[in-house]
Structures are given as C-alpha cells and as structure tokens.
Amino acid sequence: MKTLLVEKFRSAYGRAPEICAYAPGRIEFIGNHTDYNGGTVLGAALDRGVWVALAGRADALRQWVSDQRPARVTSRAEDGAKRVGVESWVNYPLGVLAALPEFGVAAPAGFDFLAMSNLPSGAGLSSSAAIELSSALAFLEMAGARVARETVVKIARHAENHFVGVPCGILDQGVSGFGQKNQLVWIDCRGPLFATVPLPAASHFWIFNTHTKHALVDGLYAARHRECMTAAQALGVGLLVETSSTTLAAAQAALAPESARRARHVVEEIARVALARTSLEAGDLAAVGQLLTASHRSSQLLFENSTEELDFLVDALVVSPQVFGARLTGGGFGGAVMALTSAAFGEAEAHATAALYREKFGATPEILHAQTGDGATLI
C-alpha cells in the first residue's frame, strides 16, 4: 500500500512524500458509549484504515488531497478555521494540528498532505480516528517530536473533542493506536489504561454496512453524552462508572425515565465488557456472543441509538447456528452491524442475510469479512 500511496502523492504534487503513516479503523467489539462514561471497552483494530503522506514546504501554504474527495483544499498556517461542506474532511487533520501546542509541540507550518483510505465510509469503523492517528504520527515526525503512544492517542482524541466537536471517549483512538493482530484492545477509560486480550482462533468478524445515516456531529451522539452526564449528576457521581446496578435501582424513582434508561444501559454494558473479557480468555465464544447480542438489545431498548435497519440485521443474523452474536458497532444511529461467527459462516450465508435485508429495505448492505490488524505506525 505504501507504493500506491507514494504514487498518488507524486500524481498530486509532482514529488515524493517525506513521511508516510498509517492507522487502522476499528471494530467496537463491546462497550457501547461506555468510554466517555469512564467505563471499560473492548475493540479490534482492522487490517484496513487510512494512510497519510506528507512533505514540507518552504512557505506557509497547506495543501490537502484525499483519494475519497474530488477537489484539493488549500489553506495557510495562520488560518486554522474549520472547513465546511465537501472540505470538512480536512477538520480531522486540522484538529490534530490545533491540538499539538496543547501537548507542547509546535505545529508544522506549510506542507503538502495526502490521505488514502480503504475503509468503507459511514460504517461505524472510525475512519475519523484513523485519519487523526495517522496525521498525528506524520505531523509529530515532521516536528521532530518523540512522544509516548498514549500521548499520540490523546492528541487524536483532543482533535475530535475540541476541534471536530464530537464528545467521544478514548475508544476509537485507543484501539487504532494500540491494536495488534489477533488481539482485542481492552481500555479502562479512566486511566486510560490499555491492554490486549487474545482473540480465540475460531473467531470471525462480519460487518454489514447499511449505508444509513451515521453522522455523529449532527447532535445525536452529543445528546446521548449530555443525557449520561445529567444522569450521573442526578445520581451524585462524576461519571456513571462510579455507580452500580444496586444504587441505580434504588434511585430509579428519583430519575427521569430517559435518564434511568441511559444510565442502566451504561452500567450494565460495563458489566458486559468484564464478562466478555473473562469469556474470551476462557475461549467461550458462545458466552461472548450472548453478551454481544444483549449489548445490542440494550442499545435498541435503553440507549435508543439503534435503527430499524440495524435491528433487522441483528434479528436475521442471530437465528443462524453459525453466528455467536451480533450487535451494532460504533456510535449507532445508523452505520453497521458486527457479527461474531464461526468459520462455517461464509460468503453464502452473508449474502443470504444481505438478500433478506434487500427484500425488506430495497437496498443491499455492504459486506466486509473483517480481519484484525496492527495499530498506527510510521511506514
């Protein structure tokens, strides 16, 4: 892929890049909306993601090219304003540049930038974190800064929170940064602390991308974040991770129904993450699958960030004996469903599921037999 990246950079700018970096997309395995509530999550880095190529300029001009967008974007170092419309993809690397001084690093001035991706967009696989991480590695290298991997992840999250405007937790950036092939990334988001959990060899991931709306900045994600903070305040805690099912049940009458539902989802989801880790370490994929499906039902009924399309796919998948479990992956409100399956679930079964979806909704979901991969790196 580096050869193709260099070729695309040469085609765009007439010279070779000086720095190349890569960061993967991720599957949110389990831990839906637990990260910004201080909880734990499990995720898997994918074997596909976003590559960034960079070369410095003597002036303060910044040129931005993406193989996913038709037009070049230009800006200057002194102009850090957010972009809108078709240029809004630039906000992810721009946010990284804006974050660098907060971490003691001077942002590079002028450069030519190219991003290349093989992630399906809008599938909840966090192409945003992938471009943030790959951009951060490239900009840090250009600045001659040597920082810990945890700091790179924090820079990327800062970009998403404070520049792009999504109040996400550390899940997406943490998994993209710390991913390893054949491993899941476990994160205690209060530290944050990072560890890996071996993925049983019999595990297979299938992603069904509905191509329905998945726009976190539109406000639904922010609304759920706000609702969780309101619930925590009503329970007298800083974050929902600090409460328990027992405390929540005792306080049920004092909470607004919406707050109670959001809090219950988060508290029970954190417990499911712990059980999933234990079951993975025991190689019990049937138990893991049950937890994944329970996670989706909670998203569907309590957190209300699922959709009719996602629910239909989960219902269609979990009746198969080759499927251990299925759930929405990512922020929700559209996007994709992840199924954890045995090796017996193959292309025929996947396309049969897609055919049922097409019969119901008149559109065909994109199918991806996902493989795990390594985390962000200079290449």
Enumerate the active-site residues.
172
Q: Please give the Cα distance from 317 to 73 (Å, whole number).
A: 42
Give which of 142, 147, 118 is closest to 51, Cα–Cα. Answer: 118
Rounded to a whole number of angstroms, the distance between the first and last alpha carbons of the chain is: 10
Q: Which amino acid is at 211?
A: H
User: What is the DSSP pairing of strand 61-66 with strand 111-117?
Assistant: parallel
Give which of 176, 136, 177 is closest to 159, Cα–Cα. Answer: 136
- Sign of the alpha-carbon torsion through 313, 203, 123, 170: positive
Q: Label residue 239 exposed, middle or buried (CB < 10 Å: 0-12, 13-18, 19+).
A: middle
The answer to whether residues 50 and 22 touch, using CB atoms and an 8 Å cutoff, is yes
Q: Label residue 132 exposed, middle or buried (CB < 10 Å: 0-12, 13-18, 19+).
A: buried
